[in-house]
Amino acid sequence: MNTDQDIIQEIQNTDYKYGFTSDIETDIIAPGLNEDIVRQISKMKNEPEFMLEWRLKAFEHWKTMEHPKWANINMEIPHFQDISYYAQPRNKPKYDSLDEVDPEILKTFQKLGIPLEEQKILAGVAVDAVIDSVSIHTSFKSQLKEMGIIFCSFSEAVHEYPELIKNYLGSVVPYTDNFYACLNSAVFSDGSFVYIPKNTRCPMELSTYFRINATNTGQFERTLIIAEEGSYVSYLEGCTAPMRDENQLHAAVVELITLNNAEIKYSTVQNWYPGDKEGKGGIYNFVTKRGICKGNNSKISWTQIETGSALTWKYPSTILKGDNSSSEFYSVAVTNNHQQADTGTKMIHIGKNTKSTIVSKGISLGKSNNSYRGLVRMAKTAENARNFSQCDSLLIGSQCGAHTFPYIDVQNNTAIVEHEATTSKIADDQIFYCNQRGISKEDAISLIVNGFAKEVLNKLPMEFAIEAQKLLAISMEGSVG
Amino acid sequence: MIQIKNLHASINGKEILKGLNLEIKPGEIHAIMGPNGSGKSTLSAVIAGREDYEVTAGEIIFNGKNIIEMSPEDRACEGIFLAFQYPIEIPGVSITNFMKTALENKAKYLNQEPLSAGDFLKKMKEKKQLVELDDSLSKRSVNEGFSGGEKKRNEIFQMAMLEPKLSILDETDSGLDIDALRIVANGVNKLKSPQNSAIVITHYQRLLDYIVPDFVHILYKGKIVKSGTKELALELEAKGYDWIKAEIDA
């Protein structure tokens, strides 16, 4: 008779569904990292002097840094001199319509289930699609522009809005922050820039799909979102990557800034290639995401569904500086086969009456390791600050691991910090109960996992929730597709 | 409906059922009684196809098919329903979603069109009323935080939704107060038809005042040792199991 073991085996044997390479011609800088490379990147992007200076300062600093060792991850340190730091599609025209776009690129989107036009029309999502570091398609821009909203590639912002970039770049994540953020600051290729003016509510979900494509090219994205007083924006980020052999480095930096009464909702669905069943290949994902609630009564929400990457090292964090500001972190991280994820958040409470909520759901399968690492800090000034953290782990099979590393640092007696953690397995009883109602083992596991992650899935914008459920199903099921 | 012939089943190498025979015809309700450890719950688990149990001999013919090798989900889709003695909690999965998934799977198995969303909700509402299940309950996670009575009513509700041919009620009366017992029994009686059958496993005659069986069997040491009509249950209630044990063990 079948046992759960068979099902688990089957799940583990599911191949990465989105593994394919698209054939787009690219310009790639020769591998290596030195001052000349940094200058070359800046030059290829035709950047103003201030950008180059910033990159060079970051690079000088990076040379003095050591690769971090603290994460609960086994890895070989990437050979930074063997990586090419910039890739750009060879022809970079601005298209008037999708018909003019390289059909290969369109095909890639189709395989990923991201029909640009359809999505724009049906879901009202403006998509700024990034393939290999350079933005090739920006939509809805003019409509947003009328409202004073800026949504463009980072390179464009450097040229068009240098004052904003000068003011805010590195203001939340300084280039000295950490090893990978520093590397990113020196060599970042492109990314997204969003600016929401005062008292403006962005009428649509802004969305960028990242995709790593050229062989052996590290991708270094940078996202900067500024929400002026009383404004609101919901930003969606989603990623998938093609299958390949060598580990690829991805070290993005995301900075969010909310001023008085502003709100940013930042959602991520991440499905980068996790490596094969033996753990070969796959993306190294070392991301620094941080927001600052600079103004009073402002809010930053992070929601993430993490199913991909061989190694993930990511802690979307918020500095709650303004009084009465609040932040949420809702996360589902799935690891399978030999994936390793060390993810969580930091909530730094500085302002009075600041509030944060952390809900982290880790699901481990196969031989994977899934760690939650979270820091809650209540500074001396954080009168009546509150935090609630909940970390739940679900284990499927007997060879995986779940770990929780909560750090709590309270310097104000009026602050309240609560932490709850659970670890559970899918019980045979639960599977049998579902079976007895006519639900197969696979569907039962999917149902139970979705139930486990529900609190987080509910936080995603509608368009993304469906994609996220699909991803969870793909991560869990053996026969889907 | 179902014929069980010379059924032997064991768990972890220990034989629990030792040559059990039972035949149930459409429309019949059979009660199975017996002292603790006689194999009552094992019988229900084996019919439902729980994989912890190994069937070492015998066969179970359900509507002409031997189901011994059939997966539990296929048996469920064929029309076997087990109301659990201890219903399982599934956090985060609403009863609505759970039932929708179950009905869709069943429809797929039987090559039928699944119910439309409207018809499904209508059916949910109708069946909830049958067991006086609160409307808000169906939004809650399956069995999570339910009282004992709510859990049992939820089992009967699911039974009503799935419209099985053979329902097995495994000590559905345990832990129920008299009002809940009546509601549950009413539900079962309303679902009774000449086409479907039920096995009612119980310790007490009390439930059989509400669900009147056509036959009563006494299970002891893995075999049915005595069969009779409703009067047998009354006799048991009056005399206990000792006289049966003495008769068999002699």
> Which residues, at least 6 apart from A378, have a Cβ–Cβ distance to it below 8 Å?
A349, A385, A387, A409, A410, A411, A412, A415, A417
Nearest residue of B to residue A1, measured between CA atoms? B51
Same domain, A378 and A298: no
Residues of B in contact with A434 (CB under 8 A): 73, 90, 98, 102
Same domain, A257 and A398: no
Least confident range of A308-317, A428-437, B101-110, B160-169:
A308-317
Whether A439 and B87 lie within 8 Å, measured CB to CB: no
Same domain, A275 and A409: no
Rounded to a whole number of angstroms, the CA Rg of chain B reads 18
Whether B51 and A1 lie within 8 Å, measured CB to CB: yes
Identify the residue among B11, B41, B51 best suited for mutation to test binding to A, counting A beta carbons within 10 A and taking the highest: B51
Which of the 8 DSSP states describes residue A456?
Answer: H
Domain boundary at A425, A453, A469, which? A425
Please report the pLDDT score of residue B67 as a whole number: 94
**Rounded (10°) CA dihedral A172, A176, A178, A181:** 60
Using alpha carbons only, what angle is made at residue B33 by residues B31 and B35, rounded to the nearest 5 degrees?
170
Give the H/E segment covering residue A390. Answer: strand A386-395
Six token digits for residue A66: 């050591």
Residues of A in contact with B76 (CB under 8 A): 435-438
Question: Residue A7, Cβ neighbours under 10 Å: how many?
Answer: 22
Residues of B in contact with A394 (CB under 8 A): none
> Which residues, at least 6 apart from A307, have a Cβ–Cβ distance to it below 8 Å?
A270, A271, A274, A333, A334, A471, A472, A474, A475
Measured CA to CA, the distance from residue A369 to residue B50 in angstroms comes to 31
* Residues of chain B numbered 184-213 and touching chain A (CB < 8 Å): none
Residues of B in contact with A440 (CB under 8 A): 71, 73, 105
Same domain, A272 and A370: no
CB proximity B77 to A under 8 Å: yes
Same domain, A148 and A229: yes
Whether B82 and A436 lie within 8 Å, measured CB to CB: yes
Measured CA to CA, the distance from residue B98 to residue A447 in angstroms comes to 8
Please report the pLDDT score of residue A268 as a whole number: 87
Phi-psi region of A344 (alpha: psi -120 to 50; beta: other; left: phi over 0): left
CB proximity B87 to A under 8 Å: yes
Which of the 8 DSSP states describes residue A100?
Answer: G
Q: What's at B37, amino acid-wise? A: G
Measured CA to CA, the distance from residue A264 to residue A311 in angstroms comes to 27
Phi-psi region of A446 (alpha: psi -120 to 50; beta: other; left: phi over 0): alpha
Same domain, A154 and A268: yes
Q: Which residue has the higher pLDDT, B200 or A276?
A: B200
Please report the pLDDT score of residue A5 as a whole number: 53
Asked if the structure places residue A61 within a domain, the reply is: yes
Asked if the structure places residue A417 within a domain, the reply is: yes
Same domain, A112 and A163: yes
End-to-end CA, chain B: 34
Measured CA to CA, the distance from residue A464 to residue A271 in angstroms comes to 13
Whether B73 and A441 lie within 8 Å, measured CB to CB: yes
Which of the 8 DSSP states describes residue A431?
Answer: H
Domain boundary at A425, A447, A463, which? A425
Asked if the structure places residue A39 within a domain, the reply is: yes
Measured CA to CA, the distance from residue A173 to residue A314 in angstroms comes to 14
Same domain, A414 and A271: no
Please report the pLDDT score of residue A311 as a whole number: 85
Nearest to A29 by CA among A217, A212, A190: A217
Residues of B in contact with A455 (CB under 8 A): 92
Longest CA pairwise span in chain B (Å): 61
Mean pLDDT score, B129-148: 86
Q: Which domain holds residue A285?
A: 4-314
Whether B109 and A452 lie within 8 Å, measured CB to CB: no
Nearest to B236 by CA among B218, B212, B221, B214: B218
Asked if the structure places residue A47 within a domain, the reply is: yes
Please report the pLDDT score of residue A215 as a whole number: 42
Please report the pLDDT score of residue A221 as a whole number: 86
Same domain, A241 and A365: no
- Rounded to whole angstroms, what are the CA distances from A83 to A33, A37, A155, A187, A285? 8, 11, 22, 11, 15
Nearest to B149 by CA among B188, B179, B193: B179
Q: Which residue has the higher pLDDT, B35 or A198?
A: A198
Identify the residue among A431, A434, A441, A472 best suited for mutation to test binding to B, counting B beta carbons within 10 A and taking the highest: A434
Q: What's at A385, amino acid-wise? A: A
Residues of A in contact with B81 (CB under 8 A): 436
Question: Residue A461, Cβ neighbours under 10 Å: how many?
Answer: 17
Whether B76 and A436 lie within 8 Å, measured CB to CB: yes
Phi-psi region of A246 (alpha: psi -120 to 50; beta: other; left: phi over 0): beta
CB proximity B158 to A under 8 Å: yes
Strands B215-220 and B197-201: unpaired
Blockwise average pLDDT, block size 10, chain A, 481 residues: 48 49 60 88 90 95 88 78 70 49 54 46 41 46 83 88 95 92 91 94 76 52 95 83 59 95 92 74 87 97 87 92 96 86 93 96 88 94 96 87 91 94 88 94 88 88 73 57 24
Nearest residue of B to residue A458, measured between CA atoms? B92
Q: Which of B72, B90, B99 sits opposite A436 (nearest CB)?
A: B72
Question: Residue B146, Cβ neighbours under 10 Å: how many?
Answer: 18
Whether A438 and B109 lie within 8 Å, measured CB to CB: yes
Asked if the structure places residue A233 within a domain, the reply is: yes
> How many structural domains is chain A composed of?
2
Q: What is the pLDDT of residues A216-275, one digit of tens each?
A: 445 788 999 999 999 999 998 875 544 454 557 888 999 999 999 999 999 988 777 777
Domain boundary at A375, A391, A425, which? A425
Q: Which residue has the higher pLDDT, A15 or B95?
A: B95
What is the ipTM for the molecules in this complex?
Answer: 0.95
Whether A435 and B87 lie within 8 Å, measured CB to CB: no
Strands B14-24 and B2-11: antiparallel
Give the full edge-to-edge strand order of the sheet including B80-83: B80-83, B166-170, B197-201, B29-33, B215-220, B223-228
Given a cut of 90, whether residue B4 has pLDDT beyond it is yes
Q: Please tell me whether residue A44 adopts helix, strand or coil conformation.
A: helix
In terms of Cβ atoms closer than 10 Å to its own Cβ (0-12, 13-18, 19+), residue A446 is buried
Given a cut of 70, whether residue B73 has pLDDT beyond it is yes
Same domain, A59 and A201: yes
Asked if the structure places residue A431 within a domain, the reply is: no
Q: Which CATH number belongs to the domain containing residue B71 in this structure?
A: 3.40.50.300
Q: Which domain holds residue B219?
A: 2-249
Q: Which of A436, A448, A453 sits opposite B90 (nearest CB)?
A: A448
For the entire predicted model, the pTM comes to: 0.78
Q: Which of B82, B90, B101 sits opposite A443 (nearest CB)?
A: B101
Nearest residue of A to residue B89, measured between CA atoms? A430
Same domain, A306 and A362: no
Please report the pLDDT score of residue A272 as a whole number: 76
Six token digits for residue A88: 């750009």
Residues of A in contact with B87 (CB under 8 A): 433
Q: What's at B18, amino acid-wise? A: K
Mean pLDDT score, B154-170: 94
Asked if the structure places residue A87 within a domain, the reply is: yes
CB proximity B95 to A under 8 Å: no
Same domain, A292 and A361: no
Using alpha carbons only, what angle is made at residue B38 by residues B34 and B44, rounded to the nearest 5 degrees?
90
Which of the 8 DSSP states describes residue A2?
Answer: -
In terms of Cβ atoms closer than 10 Å to its own Cβ (0-12, 13-18, 19+), residue A445 is buried
Measured CA to CA, the distance from residue A14 to residue B11 in angstroms comes to 32
Mean pLDDT score, B138-163: 90
Whether A440 and B73 lie within 8 Å, measured CB to CB: yes
Residues of A in contact with B88 (CB under 8 A): 427, 429-430, 432-433
